[in-house]
Copies of this chain bind each other. A is one copy, B any other.
Amino acid sequence: MVRVAILGQGYVGSIFAVGLERIKAGEIEPHGVPLQDELPYKIKDIEIVASYDVDKNKVGKPLSEIVKNYWKGKLPESLGKVPIRKGVHLRSLRNLPIEAEGLESEAPLKEVVAKLVEEWKELKVDVFVNVCTTEAFVPFKSRAELEEAIEKNHTDRLTATQVYAYAACKYAREMGGAAFVNTIPTLIANDPVYVEFAKESNLVIFGDDGATGATPLTADILAHLAQRNRFVKDIAQFNIGGNTDFLALTDKERNKSKEFTKSSVVEDILGYDAPHYIKPTGFLEPLGDKKFIAMHMEYVSFNGAVDELVITGRINDSPALAGLIVDLVRLGKMAVERKEWGTVYPVNAFYMKNPGPKEKKNLPRIIAYERMRAWAGLPAKYE
């Protein structure tokens, strides 16, 4: 059994819940789940035992009710018993058209953390999945700075993710082990303060920023060009969507947080920093969760010839991430059993856009995949 707590019951968390139960019910194939049922923990072993949110329209209602906002099809009967609990807000939904309230409005952060740890102990959570909305954040310089922010209730200094990850450390230390999967850009697996804290606390961290959409595909296409020694002149990548995450990105402060993320995948894969423009571009409501991506690349081939590639597509954003989570929670439990405290690069390198720890680079995904399989004890896919 893999007991999962969802932190942020939005689009991704809801599609994860629905797809998981539909697979368990035999209604659909596990498409989009990279490791299918190859792992020792099977998909049917995953159970959602808790869910947290700060939207006043969600808190208190059963999960089965909330997922209807994101999924219009028939619901599997097995969904439903878990109620949405009130979580940490800390402005994570600010500027969005949502009425939100977090635990921090009821008690100082130190007490909030203690309350969460108690709740989780009752729920016996194995793996936390952080699927909050993209946040405006500042990483911590030292453990002391982090502890002080909690201690002194600096609600302006912390984000929901940072508080959840802190609480997960506290919880893991008491329970002897747990895993925290961070699928959003806030630096956790890339923040040495958190990774160190996790090591001391028997916490496994996977992160940061789930590798969905155009970026991992770009990584593989750039590797394809690099292996042929084609010289990339320029790369433009646009994407536009209509879900809350794209809406959130229109908020300037959130975008600014990007400066703390690692330099681009471009240099990691090519070995030089080809001029590029790679950004979420805009919000267009009718596109919904199915974003439109467009990418243009020019490169120099043999004898100075210049080639061009254009890639466009319609990609369902939330299912892409939700499918990865089905693997990540099982790999999280495995890592806990192996006691690989801190963060696990072979897992992050395949599943994350910004694979921790901080000093590690991006790999072409096709290669990272085989290494991740080796880590998981699975045979190579391509011999």
Contacts and interface: CB of A to CB of B under 8 A. Distances in A.
B301 A227 contact: no
A369 B302 contact: no
A163 to B, nearest CB: 29
A155 B369 CA distance: 50
How many copies, total?
4
A236 B284 contact: yes
A365 interface: yes
Contacts of A275: 284-286
A24 to B, nearest CB: 12
Contact of A229 (B36, B290, B366): B36
Contacts of A32: 228-230, 300-303, 305
Contacts of A314: 307-308
Size band of the A side of the interface?
35 or more
Nearest to A36: B229
Interface of A: 15, 18-19, 22, 28-36, 71, 216-217, 220-221, 223-224, 226-231, 233-234, 236, 238, 240, 275-277, 279, 281-287, 290, 292, 294, 296, 298-316, 319-320, 322-324, 326, 350, 363-367, 369-370, 381-382
13 contacts: A15-B303, A18-B303, A19-B303, A31-B231, A32-B303, A217-B221, A217-B224, A224-B366, A240-B277, A277-B282, A302-B326, A305-B320, A308-B315
